[in-house]
Amino acid sequence: MKTPRLLDIHNATVYRDNKKVFDGFSLSVEQGQSTAIIGPNGAGKSTLLKLLTRELYPVVNDESHVRILGQDRPILWELREKIGLVSADLQQGFVPDVSGLGVVVSGLHNSIGLFHYQDVTDEQLTRGRAVLEELGISDLAGRPYKQMSTGQQRRCLLGRALIHNPDHLILDEPTSGLDLNATYHYLNGIRELLQRGKTILLATHHIHEIPPEIERVVFIANGSVVADGYKADLLTDNHLSSLFDMPLTVSISNGFYQVLPA
């Protein structure tokens, strides 16, 4: 049997409040095909990722579908186990008093904090500690979320996304707000995950945070896919200048791309 696609969107119309953000949007991503979704502010990147996490739904229509791992109506609980998420929305909405260990373990409860009515087992705590150790952040286990830096919170949230050991990860602008050291530390962690075979869907307008291991890029502008192909073919002066509507020049160093005004 053919492996179902991670994502298969065909002809989708999506509204956010009264605004039609996608009109006939189509995109598919195979499992194992890590992809960077690039576009300027307001292009529709987060909207796309929210379709995948089922935080947004398309308008129901016979001629369109949004299939995730082969399912039109995936069971949310199962989806959360198979696809980990780190996004700014999640980071901002997290319960401030929870500890680093609590952040990670909350992934098992699919909650944005840990609450007294939740039954947290010793086994879950042991799993949470193992994830913290794997990410090299065991020192954050007891620290309240609200007392962590942006980068520390982000790494705990990565731990939360990894607690189910999902095959797929969605990262929405993963290094925004991180300093240089934290950016490259975080990117190294992401590169390791890619090298271990995880599929990563990364939405960003920061070209420098695309790990060398990601080869496919999709450009989105005004709610449509405007280009889709290999990174080496699309991350060029001309293509990026056109996407961001200003003259840009690209340089490459150790597999990472950097962009500056031309």
Ligand X SMILES: Nc1ncnc2c1ncn2[C@@H]1O[C@H](COP(=O)(O)OP(=O)(O)OP(=O)(O)O)[C@@H](O)[C@H]1O
What's the CA gap between 160 and 16, in Å, rounded?
A: 27
46, burial (CB in 10 Å: exposed 0-12, middle 13-18, buried 19+)? buried
Report the nearest approach of ligand X to the CB of residue 162 (Å): 23
Q: Which of 125, 69, 64 is nearest to 100 (CA)?
A: 125
- For 133, the token pair is 């150790």
Given the complex with ligand X, which of 106 and 204 has the nearer CB atom?
A: 204
Given the complex with ligand X, which of 21 and 105 has the nearer CB atom?
A: 21
Helices (H) and strands (E) in the chain, counts: 9, 11
Report the nearest approach of ligand X to the CB of residue 68 (Å): 18
Q: Which of 210, 196, 193 is nearest to 256 (CA)?
A: 210
Span of 12-20, 53-61, 114-122, 226-234 interacting with ligand X by CB under 6 A = 12-20
Report the nearest approach of ligand X to the CB of residue 168 (Å): 19
Report the nearest approach of ligand X to the CB of residue 172 (Å): 7
Site for ligand X in 201-260 (CB under 6 A): 205
What is the x/- site pattern for ligand X, positions 42-81, by CB under 6 A? xxxxxx----------------------------------
What's the CA gap between 25 and 165, in Å, rounded?
A: 30
Given the complex with ligand X, which of 42 and 142 has the nearer CB atom?
A: 42
Give residue 251's identity as a one-letter amino acid code: S
What's the CA gap between 180 and 256, in Å, rounded?
A: 14
What's the CA gap between 154 and 176, in Å, rounded?
A: 10
Beta bridge partners of 83: 168
Report the nearest approach of ligand X to the CB of residue 46 (Å): 3
Report the nearest approach of ligand X to the CB of residue 174 (Å): 13
Site for ligand X in 121-180 (CB under 6 A): none
Span of 11-19, 57-65, 78-86, 101-109 interacting with ligand X by CB under 6 A = 11-19
- For 187, the token pair is 């990117």
Residue 16 near ligand X by CB under 6 A? yes
Given the complex with ligand X, which of 41 and 92 has the nearer CB atom?
A: 41
Cβ–Cβ under 8 Å, residues 212 and 255: yes
What is the x/- site pattern for ligand X, positions 26-45, by CB under 6 A? -------------x-xxxxx
Residues at the contact surface with ligand X, assessed by CB under 6 A: 16-17, 19, 21, 39, 41-47, 205
